[in-house]
Amino acid sequence: MAAEATPPCLELKGISFGFHGRPLLEDITLTVGHQEIVSFIGPNGVGKTTLFNIICGLAAPLKGSVIYRGVDITGREPHTICRMGIARTFQIPRPFPQMTVLENVLVGIWFGAEEAGKPDGERQEALRLLDLVGLRHKAEERGRELTLSELRRLEVARALATKPRLLLLDEVAAGLSPQAIREAVELIKSLRDGGLTLLIIDHFLTLTCQVSDRLVALCERKMTAVGKPAEVLNSPEVMRAYLGRGDA
């Protein structure tokens, strides 16, 4: 067993997707290695969030397959995929509004992780995660009482609670202050050092340029450029897309 080469963390093979017969993504193919940080950029509505939905089982691709650590997970249910080790945050946060922040995180610990800790350890673990994202002082507040940027941090804590090996972050940095972005960069780097692989969507390029190993530019259904952040940002296709449309 050990002699075999370990499969990459994630492989997307020829993914195509569309809404109501209108194609949105065509032939997305990408291989992500372990502990790699890959960011997706592209104009509004190009399908970045949809690609995340496909990876974590909330949408089924029309063609192609999603391979996670050598296992084909295309079309599996979201909860199964979560328990296999893929967690995601939502661009528009989806807290459990009536539950406290702590309980929100506990749900991730209870249901997402393959084996849960001791009843007491769970609470400590949840508080530790809240500490990590700077929300510990809000532990007793209800989900509906948080501000948008707090909700984004809750999304991260909750996703981490499921003990993922692959984490998908959808626009967690939107609207953060420069100080908060520096903290987010530190957090992402330490998560990667802890063994996590990350996919990041970042519309404003604030996070991505600083932490990404690779950048993927999506434009009009296709991947137009893949590579080191500086190369991709300077490629003619991306220049045209970003300058031409006035995004970001």
Round to whole Å and give the CA distance between 136 and 145: 14
CB of 51 to ligand ATP, least distance (A): 7
In the list 39, 74, 89, 91, the residue contacting ligand ATP (rule: CB under 6 A) is 91
Subset of 126-165 contacting another protein (CB under 8 A):
127, 136-137, 139-140, 143, 158, 161-162
In the list 39, 50, 162, 197, the residue contacting ligand ATP (rule: CB under 6 A) is 50
CB of 228 to another protein, least distance (A): 31
What φ, ψ does residue 27 adopt, rounded to 5°?
A: 50, 55
Task: Using the rule CB under 8 A, give the single segment among 9-17, 95-103, 182-190, 236-244 that binds another protein.
Answer: 95-103
Question: Site size for ligand ATP, by CB under 6 A?
Answer: 12
Task: Please say whether the beta carbons of 70 and 7 come within 8 A.
Answer: yes
3-class secondary structure per residue, the chain: CCCCCCCCCEEEEEEEEEECCEEEEEEEEEEECCCCEEEEECCCCCCHHHHHHHHCCCCCCCEEEEEECCEECCCCCHHHHHHHCEEECCCCCCCCCCCEHHHHHHHHHHHHCCCCCCHHHHHHHHHHHHHHCCCHHHCCCEHHHCCHHHHHHHHHHHHHHCCCCEEEEECCCCCCCHHHHHHHHHHHHHHHHCCCEEEEECCCCCCHHHHCCEEEEEECCEEEEEECHHHHHHCHHHHHHHHHHCCC
The residue ranges that bind Mg ion (CB under 5 A) are 49, 91
- Comparing CB distances to ligand ATP, the nearer of 41 and 135 is 41
Q: Which does 78 bind (CB under 5 to 8 A by kind): Mg ion, ligand ATP, another protein, none?
A: another protein
Round to whole Å and give the CA distance between 26 and 15: 6
Subset of 70-89 contacting another protein (CB under 8 A):
77-79, 82-83, 87-88
In the list 1, 4, 20, 98, the residue contacting another protein (rule: CB under 8 A) is 98
If one asks whether residue 94 binds another protein (CB under 8 A), the answer comes out as: yes
Considering all CA atoms of the chain, what is the largest pairwise distance in Å, rounded to the nearest integer?
55
Q: Which does 83 bind (CB under 5 to 8 A by kind): Mg ion, ligand ATP, another protein, none?
A: another protein
If one asks whether residue 203 binds ligand ATP (CB under 6 A), the answer comes out as: yes
Task: Using the rule CB under 6 A, give the single segment among 48-56, 63-71, 130-138, 158-166 that binds ligand ATP.
Answer: 48-56
Enumerate binding residues for ligand ATP (CB under 6 A). 19, 24, 42, 44-50, 91, 203
Interacting residues toward another protein by CB under 8 A: 56-58, 77-79, 82-83, 87-88, 90, 94-100, 102-103, 106-108, 110-113, 123, 127, 136-137, 139-140, 143, 158, 161-162
